[in-house]
Structure 1
């Protein structure tokens, strides 16, 4: 049976698998977002920069296999799972109409917080995208698992058809395998502020088109309905099958992208099609990660500093996601320390590891002192202020 541990702040029982998944997910997101600001390096493939050394190339391969377009679906699945937990808890307390209103309010505040992060801080948007997704899928929270699987399939089919074509056309229009980082090194905070604020309007739409999350959020809702991560002992065989099959799909879908620009030099359109397939098979990668963490919850005990630190970060995932995004901007971008001008793939990965380790220590300290995540507390107050 998965271990439940007591949160020192709220004195409530929590599933270790969920918080381990959330804390680990934040590390994957750091690794995925670091290369986006290495602006003096030559573009590589999609969001990667070209490796300068053999170690750079190895790290790029590993990133393309297990991180890129895999961390985001895991985040989306955990977001969907969390929606189910909120819906289930508040349904008992407040009934159908109030719980729907509460979740809508929570999603709108996520959109608002994401707009502040992207517009004022310059971080990568996920929160706006997920908040809008929550508003779109809210009706599915009261459906059974068969309906949710049907919705997942229906939402995935258009992307299977269109996404590879869209990416193919995008790379043809750019005449490049990679997405350029449009920084010169002369930017200041004020000179880029208007562009960031203007981009808020379009960013969620572009993300939903080119980096879709709705299918993954629905997968998370399906997992939440079954309670796969809180009661994994009831679904061991299913979780094992999901882990093996989904990781196999994810790896097979990632391999063609790994070959591009190193041993294979296809046309830009074909490269874009491969990029679309990489994103689509990332849905399976995120589901595989979620299933794996469900299995890990059966064997991990809430003992030891590392496990406690990761779960502490997982409980405060919103706070630390925003903190990480702000730190990446401050450390790498020209508006502050400008290390994006000198770091390589390898040094950026090392910096990401250090950043995660330091913030893990902060999370552990906060948990030890029973300090709640400030953004979690703020969001809860905004969401529940008229309900409680």
Structure 2
């Protein structure tokens, strides 16, 4: 998950490159083109839903944990709300003071919006999930069609420029950060992904993967297939066809929506893989160590990308191509794996996980 997020965010710092298709930079050479196509098929708008599914699953685990400790439903919901508020705070610090590509605020808001459903019966939960999902399916492709028509280009470009400095970036982020999660929720179907994650959690699809292997296999096959088919038209733009701006935005909305199926499919696939790994080895132990500390290392990864790529720091985003920033993203993630392994070896929790627990539980 963290690798996919790093690979999705790194190209956003390429302020020295021309816009390509959507959030992707223009390809400079053949390898860039391969990386862009791979990203459009398997990463863009697929890493975010995966994070959202895992977040929704985590809400269920947290809620059930509180009930098992003797807390009543009201107290358990209060804990969920408290953690959601602190996620928003952590995301604000990341976005404003570090300048990273934040999603923590959006998930904090999602926790506040869907937390009430954790105690509702199956019928109410399914009804809410269907209504929210249909709403996004109805308006999202048209919204992106109008957005792209207004932009007047296939690509969005980047928010960075060569003349940016830290103080300027901080002031702009401080001004705009309150509306960032609103726009994220408006433009991307995070809530349906979180709700599907809650459904996963209610069914214990990942924590009881041995019992659910056939179901996980069906979900993974269906979700990833839908995801690839939904992304394929975007990959073929400028290669096979040249659609109008509105149509391009419309099919980008389809790519985003089918990315939700991709995130769900990835979660199921990783559940299947985990179920088949009977004997932990050094690699799986290291990945597990990173997963236990995902909040800490998400923030660290975003911080390192800012330091290495943004114009306010080392400015490599002005000199590298898409291939270069892809290598940077993999190296940053690899460093996180190594650091997480060291923490696990010394039985040390992630610093931000420790801080979050102390804030939420007053420890």
TM-score band, normalised by shorter chain: over 0.9
Cα distance, 1:184 vs. partner? 2.3
Cα distance, 1:146 vs. partner? 4.5
1:155 corresponds in structure 2 to 132
Cα distance, 1:278 vs. partner? 0.3
1:279-358 residue pairs with structure 2 within 5 A? 279-301=256-278, 303-358=280-335
Q: What whole-Å deviation, never above 9, does each CA across 1:151-189 have from its counterpart, x for those lacking one? A: 222111111111111111111111011112132212111
Of residues 26, 49, 66, the one that matches 1:90 is: 66
Cα distance, 1:356 vs. partner? 1.1
1:222-261 residue pairs with structure 2 within 5 A? 222-261=199-238
Is 2:360 the counterpart of 1:383?
A: yes
Are the counterparts in 1 of residues 189 and 260 from structure 2 also a CA contact under 8 Å?
A: no
Aligned residues: 362
1:146–1:299 distance in 2 versus 1, CA, 3 Å: farther
Are the counterparts in 2 of residues 42 and 50 from structure 1 also a CA contact under 8 Å?
A: yes
Cα distance, 1:382 vs. partner? 0.5
Of residues 17, 31, 34, the one that matches 1:58 is: 34
Is 2:145 the counterpart of 1:138?
A: no
* Structure 1 gap segments, 5+ residues each: 1-24
Separation in 2 of the partners of 1:278 and 1:124? 21
Q: What SS does the corresponding residue of 1:230 show, helix, strand or coil?
A: coil
Of residues 169, 185, 189, the one that matches 2:146 is: 169
Of residues 18, 21, 24, the one that matches 1:48 is: 24
Of residues 197, 217, 221, the one that matches 2:198 is: 221
Of residues 199, 204, 216, the one that matches 2:176 is: 199
Cα distance, 1:304 vs. partner? 2.1
Comparing 322-331 with 351-360, greater Cα deviation is found at 351-360
Separation in 1 of the partners of 2:78 and 2:64? 14
Cα distance, 1:234 vs. partner? 1.5
Separation in 1 of the partners of 2:10 and 2:163? 19
1:27 corresponds in structure 2 to 3
Separation in 2 of the partners of 1:89 and 1:49? 44
Separation in 1 of the partners of 2:87 and 2:49? 18
Q: What whole-Å deviation, never above 9, does each CA across 1:82-129 have from its counterpart, x for those lacking one? A: 000000010122111111111110100101111111011111121100
* TM-score (norm. length: structure 2): 0.97
Q: What SS does the corresponding residue of 2:178 show, helix, strand or coil?
A: coil
Cα distance, 1:148 vs. partner? 2.9
1:302–1:331 distance in 2 versus 1, CA, 3 Å: farther
* TM-score (norm. length: structure 1): 0.91
Separation in 1 of the partners of 2:168 and 2:230? 40
1:22 corresponds in structure 2 to none
Q: What whole-Å deviation, never above 9, does each CA across 1:238-277 have from its counterpart, x for those lacking one? A: 1111011111111110000111122221111000001100
Are the counterparts in 1 of residues 18 and 26 from structure 2 also a CA contact under 8 Å?
A: yes
Q: What whole-Å deviation, never above 9, does each CA across 1:321-380 have from its counterpart, x for those lacking one? A: 000111111100011100000111111111111111111111101100111100000000
1:13 corresponds in structure 2 to none
Is 2:330 the counterpart of 1:372?
A: no
Separation in 1 of the partners of 2:126 and 2:320? 43
Is 2:15 the counterpart of 1:39?
A: yes
Q: What SS does the corresponding residue of 2:155 show, helix, strand or coil?
A: coil
Separation in 2 of the partners of 1:302 and 1:115? 40
* Structure 2 gap segments, 5+ residues each: none
Separation in 2 of the partners of 1:303 and 1:238? 24
Q: What SS does the corresponding residue of 1:361 show, helix, strand or coil?
A: helix
Are the counterparts in 2 of residues 145 and 225 from structure 1 also a CA contact under 8 Å?
A: no
Is 2:243 the counterpart of 1:272?
A: no
Separation in 1 of the partners of 2:243 and 2:134? 26
